[in-house]
Structure 1
């Protein structure tokens, strides 16, 4: 049917699809659980939107559900690091910055990263600088440098 015959109150503005990263979808076991929980939450939200007949909510939730289902199907669960001798995916790294600050980060998948909670994406510049480094190595960190003091 032509848009000319749709009442304005019935028109639903189409939302753009969420962008999917070009990187491999590496996840920790906890990251996989987070993705699964988000899919379940969105399925419940979609069902509620359908019951209520809320077309905007249905469209928004359907788009989000497509994104998270895609992330779920492409998830590559990574085992915990076998060794703490060098930094790898899943490692928790303690850094001492050149200004004296001590920070601790775990290297995780893109969807589970949250720097404010100490989780950084494995594709972030800091994580990339840390990969394959050992205790005592120095890496660029922001405008300064940081020394790796511990790997777990």
Structure 2
């Protein structure tokens, strides 16, 4: 079992809940109807609808179980309620400048809502660990797959 808390923003928790509800209330019942219809057609060993349906049902059930476990372990933290806005904490949107003065904007979010392409990084990623607790003007070194890099915290915003 993972010992780290599963921090998540309210929007991230809502997204998990919506996916869970859609799978459990909509997709799974439709699939059960299809499986029942296919089973009534006779020989199940050569019935593609039945076999595909059973396989898809197992995938949906695995995802539903995964989502249920993640929601149960979730600790929802609203970044808008942080009192200390001068430091980088969970949910902060941080503007970083590297040695070449190129800027990068990242938001520290939960593992379930991370999307690097949109600048949303897991609060436990190497870059997030390096900047957590930093204030504007602080320099932080981080070891990335491309090598070691130094970033300066240029700005910190909270929703």
Higher mean displacement: 46-55 or 104-113: 46-55
- Structure 1 position 47 matched with structure 2 position 29: yes
Q: Deviations over 1:93-151 (max 9, x none)?
A: 00011122211111110000111101111111111111111111111243321100001
Root-mean-square deviation (CA, aligned residues, Å) is: 1.4
**TM-score, scaled relative to structure 1:** 0.82
User: What corresponds to 1:149 in structure 2?
Assistant: 154
**TM-score, scaled relative to structure 2:** 0.78
Q: Distance in 1 between matches of 2:31 and 2:57?
A: 5
Q: Distance in 1 between matches of 2:69 and 2:27?
A: 18
User: What corresponds to 1:64 in structure 2?
Assistant: 63
- Structure 1 position 98 matched with structure 2 position 99: yes
The answer on whether the counterparts of 1:94 and 1:149 sit within 8 Å (CA) in structure 2 is: yes
Q: Distance in 2 between matches of 1:30 and 1:24?
A: 17
- Structure 1 position 23 matched with structure 2 position 4: yes
The answer on whether the counterparts of 1:46 and 1:57 sit within 8 Å (CA) in structure 2 is: no
1:21: how far off?
4.9
Q: The residue matched to 1:133 in structure 2 has which SS?
A: coil
Q: Distance in 2 between matches of 1:56 and 1:75?
A: 29
Unaligned runs of 5+ in 1: 1-19
1:22: how far off?
4.4
State which of 36, 39, 43 in structure 1 corresponds to 2:17.
36
User: What corresponds to 1:128 in structure 2?
Assistant: 129
Runs (4 or more) in structure 1 with deviation over 6 Å come to none
Unaligned runs of 5+ in 2: 36-52
